[in-house]
Amino acid sequence: MEPIVNPEAKATVMADDRGHVFHSWSAQATISPMAIAAAQGSYVYDYDGNEYLDLSSQLVNTNIGHQHPKVIDAIKAQADRLCTIAPQHANDVRGEAARLITERAPEPFTHVFFTNGGTEAVEYAVRMARLHTGRPKVLSRYRSYHGGTTLSVNLTGDHRRWANDHGTAGVVHFFGPFLYRSEFNATTEADECERALNHLEQTIRFEGPDTIAAIVLETIPGTAGIMIPPPGYLQGVRELCDRYGIIYIADEVMAGFGRTGEWFAFDAHDVAPDLITFAKGVNSGYVPLGGVVISSAIVETFNNRVFPGGLTYSGHPLACAAAVATIKAMEEEGIVENAKMIGDTVLRPGLLQLAENHPVIGEVRGTGVFFALDLVKDRATKEELAPYGGTSEAMGALGAAMKAEGLFPFMNYHRLHIVPPCTISVAEATDAMDRLDRAFAKIDGYYEGS
């Protein structure tokens, strides 16, 4: 795509934005957003003639890249035929989208309840679990993110919850496994797994198993740091849920639909939950869509009992048409397999080499096109390069260096997430490693360790 240079258009965009748009998770007077003119494939373009290799997939959602022609064509064709219809009516693309999604889930899953995004999917999954079990409480882990609406943000296990947490949501948090920053003084993955499961069971026992409707887990926590669960952990959670009659909700909003090199991230862990929440990658966010994939046992609860919930745009035709086209394109073009290949052959070895070159990289972790770099001042103490919930001069310098290298980053506190589209090519990913190497050279001086 040719560079775009249009300062007049940029001025208009910025004036409208700063004059009228209220931004999420921001102090309004302190921000200066980048004005985006266009995007294509793995690249984003501003109005100043700059091209950026998108290592963020925006909010980790453009799994099939920007402007995929098959999905754009499907949206256009659907708009010509049926833009919208109320959710009480059957329509072809909603049914086809539901079928394609359930076909990629484990065998017990038969139905999909569609929402507008991930936070609603989590809200409705918890509602289903509470009604199915007749229990009030829900457990979720610290270092997690489940959405911004009232219940979802209370399930969230980071500081974004605090301003909205009044202790009335029936949510109890626990520590999940994270060996690099272990809460259990573990030194091996096996010990971390065993101690984390013991901690979870103790939490269940002391909260009262008969009061707990569900455990909600991001299969791989996303914005909290991309911590891959150790072998056996998710099977252990499944066993605890079975033992105590608790519903296991897998939050696959960020990790699902190819991001980890699998259709669902839990596929790599030989486990099946009871409910699956999804959004983002199901249609790369081209039109807002999310949902809950529901196992047959929970569907049966509502066969002759009214489910008290619904949304005007549930299964919106434009969104479902985009999902159908996305899933088919992923299948036809081997996009899920490409994500796995890129992770195994380019990102993991490339990022490990970056860690050899730059000591501020304390740990590399991830899979597929879903990686995080844990950045530290000192490898021995693991002191973060920025404080929890904040930023630092060093992280600001890294962001500026990446922008100068033509990279679009996903940065969160002391971490840099490497989460490009699942369609990124070997050449593009290799180029990204070279650009990152030069960017990190700009902040080597912030390292304080020996």
> Which residue carries 């380019």 as its tokens?
346
Strand 51-54 to strand 43-46: parallel, antiparallel, or no bridges (unpaired)?
antiparallel
What's the pLDDT at 373?
98
Model pLDDT for residues 276-306, shown as the tens digit of each residue:
999 999 999 999 999 999 999 999 999 999 9
| The pLDDT of residue 168 | 87
Decide whether 7-67+334-446 matches 69-332 in CATH topology. Answer: no
Beta-sheet pairing, 171-174 with 361-367: unpaired
446: how many CB neighbours lie within 10 A of its CB? 18
Segment 168-221, tens digit of pLDDT: 889 999 999 999 999 999 999 999 999 999 999 999 999 999 999 999 999 999
Instruction: State yes or no: pLDDT of 404 exceeds 90.
Output: yes
b/e burial code for range 268-280 (CB count within 10 A of at least 16 → b): bbebbbbbbbbbb
Banded pLDDT at 1 (limits 50, 70, 90)? confident
pLDDT band of residue 450 (cuts 50, 70, 90) is confident
pLDDT tens-place string over residues 424-443: 999 999 999 999 999 999 99
Q: What is the mean pLDDT of the chain?
A: 97
| CATH 3.90.226.10 for domain 69-332 | no
pTM of whole model > 0.95? yes
Task: Kindly list the domain boundaries of the chain, sorted by start residue.
Answer: 7-67+334-446, 69-332
Q: Which fold has domain 7-67+334-446?
A: Aspartate Aminotransferase, domain 1 (3.90.1150)
What would the DSSP string read from start to end of 322-355? HHHHHHHHHHHHTHHHHHHHHIIIIIHHHHHHHH
Dump pLDDT digits (tens) for 250-275.
Answer: 999 999 999 999 999 999 999 999 99
pLDDT at position 202 is 98
Q: How far apart are CA 181 and CA 161, in angstroms?
A: 21
